[in-house]
Structure 1
Amino acid sequence: MSANYFDVVIVGAGFGGIGAAIQLHRLGYDNIVILEREDELGGTWHVNRYPGLTVDCPSTTYSYWFEPNPYWSRLYAPGPELKKYAEHVVDKYDVRRVIRFNSNVEGARWDDETQLWRVALSGGETLSAQFLIAATGFLSQPRRPDIPGIETFAGRVIHTAAWDDSYVLEGRAVGVIGTGSTGVQVIPELAKCVSELTVYQRTPIWVLPKIDFAFPSAVQRLFARMPFTQRLVRWFTDTTVDAVMVLAMWKYRHFKGLNIGASTLCAVHRFLSIRDKELRRKLTPDYDFGCKRPTMSNTYYRTFAKPHVRLVNCGIERIEPDGVVARDGSKRFIDTLVLATGFDVWDVNLPALEVIGRDGRDLGKWWRENRFQAYEGVSVPYFPNFLTLASPYAWVGLSWFNTVEYQMRHIARLLGEVQNRGARTFEVTEEANARFLDQMTELLDDSVFYLGNCVNSRSYWFNAAGEAPLFRPTSVSNAVKEQLRFPLSDYTLV
């Protein structure tokens, strides 16, 4: 067999790719490779290193179920601890040996004649594989705003997904574009060291108070020695987070009061943090809670009360070499521009690489022309032996690990059946895919996305057609159970 042949090629060494590799090892697949474009593992937790980076759901929930981490320093752990956790998991489960770093995948094409995937790398090398798994994540391609003049700005431009730790911010006049979840985390940290901070807000965000606390070393030792104690904490955080999301977002039709309660809590938090009535008005969203990714912070609102911090919410007209001109004609002189503008989900990330399936079908083109869809959030008709982990209707719950875990179960059941039958290929049927799409869209009819006021949210959860196909609008437990009972006849095995 050629040295360029693998049983499985996985694209991406984030938590999705790591989880897939662990499951494949359990199934007996050893000739696998993970292709990672960065120089280290961890995905978003390697790329993102901006000040203030933390998880935005409890750390006890933000981890693999099969590998709890008793050593989180806080309920909401800082970013470096997630990177350390990824390294621990990779070393414990012997995944590092199959990772190839600095390997940028340009595209993949299904070869009907050989029944193999041909995976093209940017250096000209081509790999062959029986199975291809795309674990590129939803948030892998940073988005730069299309603002006139940004390319000619004479100062330093830093995207939060490409942070430069060597750049000294102390004493600088800084402008931040973006007030999403990343902006909420980075803005208070920047305000601690810069001389002037101007925040350019397009859309206000719902901000909840953050109930956070440290886990003392004694508690960490307890978790390590008596794992069931941490399991109890995790059961509480898992259940609470999932219940709130299901009721406030997916069952909005029947539990609108819970959604209103969440927005009221945000309003009280904003009122207690900001005394200036006009400033509170500028920071108040005019869309329903849940239309756009909410976040938590005890310092974000208070930051705007500092004398050297300014909020501009009228939009940006243009960027000049020495500053930013707002649409009201005012200009702020800045020397550093921080882009907290997130990621390009719909135009670039879905999919994050060119994938050509059976009969020359282009996955990205087909999704855009025929709606975004994927059976159980993992497979697509006309794409044999292909699984996509960051796909339409895949994201369940707030913790990305919930998605990874249910998809690992799907991989185990599907490939286990492939092995039992001695099959060479699998492909989901068009009928099964259409049935699943109908189920998901019907469930979304009860959601805040379609029944709430989301017009002004400008949320990346919606695509250009106004659809919201990122999420699987069910509970986490439902997603997990479905992997144990989906009809194996939904796949054609040859």
Structure 2
Amino acid sequence: MALEKETFAPQPETLRYINRVCDKHNLRQDIQLSTGIKSAHWEEGQRTGRFKDESGEQYRTRFSISCLGVLSSPTLPAIPGIENFKGQLFHTSRWPKPLKISRDFARKRIGVSGTGATGIQTITEEAKVPTIEFLKVFQRTPNWSAPLRNTESTAARMQEIKSKYDSTFKQCASTPTGFLHAADPCKSADVPQEERVALWEKLYSDPGFGKWLGAFKDTHTDHEANRLYSDFMAEKIRARVHDPVVAEQLIPKDHGPGLRRVPLENGYFEVYNDPKVHQVNLARHHSQLSLAGVYCWINRTP
């Protein structure tokens, strides 16, 4: 298998890996794609499950495993008059396959609704297009986010990882979340301010989910501990965004770091220093937008 290009694999590498697993184990003969299940019933007498798909075809099975997750069906924003929009309009979970940001977003006016994990990634990439007319970010609720610190992978690094498989799996099995990262055993109030900041700075500068999962053990269970960490993370955002008003709008006020999923980013906050990027505070403007996932619309330059 070819060398992975990045520590945290992008979509093409992840897809390549999935295809390799399917080919290696001859799994395609047992996979049926593009099939939406509309109903499922348990038949007690026969001890089987009965399923019906979108075309009306039925299936019976002795065993079934539901892996739908919470993101399988998008909820579109309830925007009055949206049906009259003349530009391109789509939910990111239904991204048009031929569409490429670097090529097709040039000389366009772009709007993105939502600043969750997907929105943060989408906004960061769209802001890189040098010829966009503007990018407007419609935000109802800001999310805590921290640097991913992705790096290029090397053959030596890959070999090091492979040599530690046993200890890596053992470490993951010992943590509550299944990640390598484990909370510091101390409580936030047990160490001086200098030591607290030193740990937070290390986590912030290291790659991966340590900013979420590696802080002090009471960070997500004690109000004061979470407030201290919130103050630290808020200062990081203020230092990265030049406009103090925009910076404050990007700092969550209704929850602390780690109390929801913490998206990781590559230069997200810096995009708001670009004069072509404008943030629209939906909470302040009392918008009626109902956001779930990320909705993106593109309009041509007149």
TM-score range, shorter chain: 0.7 to 0.9
1:149 aligns with 2:42: no
Select the residue among 251, 254, 266 that pairs with 1:287. 254
Q: Could you tell me whether the CA contact under 8 Å between 1:109 and 1:118 is conserved in 2?
A: yes
Q: Which residue of 2 aligns with 1:352?
A: none
Q: Contact 1:70–1:221 (CA<8 Å) still a contact in 2?
A: no
* Residue identity opposite 2:143 in structure 1: I
More relative contact order, 1 or 2 (CA 8 Å, 6+ apart): 2
> CA separation of 1:250/1:90 partners in 2, compared to 1, >3 Å: closer, same or farther?
farther
Q: Distance in 1 between matches of 2:183 and 2:281?
A: 33
Per the TM alignment, residue 154 of structure 1 is displaced from its structure 2 partner at its CA by 1.6
Tell me, yes or no, if structure 1 residue 126 matches structure 2 residue 58. yes
The alpha-carbon distance between structure 1 residues 101 and 305, as it changes in their structure 2 partners (threshold 3 A), is same
* Alpha-carbon distance in 1 for matches of 2:214, 2:148: 20
Q: Which residue in the other structure is 2:141 paired with?
A: 203
Q: In the alignment, does 2:123 pair up with 1:187?
A: yes
Q: Deviations over 1:200-256 (max 9, x none)?
A: 000111111332211123433554xxx223555674893315775497688733585
2:202 paired residue number: none
Q: CA deviation at 1:286?
A: 0.3
Aligned mate of 1:274, from 241, 248, 259: 241
The residue aligned with 1:264 is 231
Name the structure 2 match of 1:309.
277
- Give aligned-pair identity as a percent: 27
| Residue 140 of structure 1, CA deviation | 0.9
1:86 is aligned with what amino acid?
A: I
Deviations 1:78-106 (A, max 9, x none): 12222222222223333222001222211
Give the whole-Å Cα distance in 1 for the aligned partners of 2:213 and 2:76. 30
What is the distance in 2 between the residues matched to 1:309 and 1:248? 36
- Deviates most, 286-295 or 234-243: 234-243
Q: Which residues in structure 2 correspond to 1:358-369 (within 5 Å)?
A: none
2:42 matched to which residue of 1? 110
Aligned position for 2:21: 89
Aligned twin of 2:293: 342
Query: Once the two structures are superposed, what CA deviation does each residue of 1:49-80 show, in whole Å capped at 9, x if it has no partner?
Result: xxxxxxxxxxxxxxxxxxxx994322222122
Q: Is the 8 A contact 1:248 1:256 kept in 2?
A: no
RMSD value, Cα: 3.1
> Shift in Å at residue 141 of structure 1?
0.9
- Do the aligned partners of 1:183 and 1:340 also contact (CA within 8 Å) in 2? no
Aligned 1:325-336 pairs, distance under 5 A: none
| Aligned AA (1:281) | E
Q: After TM superposition, which residue ranges in structure 1, 4 or more long, deviate above 3 angstroms?
A: 69-72, 229-237, 241-256, 259-262
> Which of 134, 138, 163 is 1:228 aligned to?
163
Distance 2:79 2:157 in 1: 49
Q: Structure 1 residues 218, 185: CA separation in 2 closer, same or farther (over 3 Å shift)?
A: same
TM-score using structure 2 length: 0.72
Q: How does 1:365-384 map to 2 (within 5 A)?
A: none
Is the aligned partner of 1:240 residue 2:240?
Answer: no
**Matches of 1:118 and 1:214 in 2, distance apart?**
47
Displacement of 1:283 in angstroms is 1.1
Structure 2: how far apart are the matches of 1:170 and 1:232? 47
SS in 2 for 1:158: strand
Kindly indicate whether the alpha-carbon contact (under 8 Å) linking 1:199 and 1:312 is maintained by their aligned counterparts in 2.
yes
User: How far apart are the structure 2 equivalents of 1:217 and 1:228?
Assistant: 12
Greater shift, 129-138 or 184-193, is seen at 129-138
Amino acid at match of 1:342: G
SS in 2 for 1:133: coil
Shift of 1:268: 2.8
1:179 touches 1:340 (CA, 8 Å); kept in 2?
Answer: no
Per-residue Cα deviation, 1:403-454 (whole angstroms, up to 9, x for no partner): xxxxxxxxxxxxxxxxxxxxxxxxxxxxxxxxxxxxxxxxxxxxxxxxxxxx
Distance apart, 1:152 and its partner CA: 1.8
Secondary structure of residue in 2 paired with 1:285: coil
Q: Does 1:217 align with 2:158?
A: no
Residue 135 of structure 1 aligns to a residue in which SS? coil
Cα 1:149–1:127 change in 2 (3 A) is: same
Instruction: Name the residue aligned to 2:95.
Output: 163
Kindly tell me the number of residue pairs found equivalent between the two proteins.
252
Kindly indicate whether the alpha-carbon contact (under 8 Å) linking 1:159 and 1:340 is maintained by their aligned counterparts in 2: no
The secondary structure found in structure 1 opposite 2:61 is strand
Letter in 2 for 1:228: S
Runs of 5+ consecutive residues of structure 2 not aligned to the other structure: 173-177, 185-211, 295-302
Distance 2:90 2:122 in 1: 12
Flag the 1:303–1:246 CA change in 2: closer, same or farther, 3 A: closer
Query: What TM-score do you get using the length of structure 1 for normalisation?
Result: 0.46
SS at match of 2:65: strand
Deviates more, 1:271-280 or 1:70-79: 70-79
Secondary structure, counterpart of 2:51 in structure 1: strand
Which string of whole-angstrom CA distances, capped at 9 and with x for unpartnered residues, describes residues 87-133 of structure 1? 22223333222001222211111122322211112222211111222
Q: Tell me which amino acid in the other structure corresponds to 2:244.
A: K
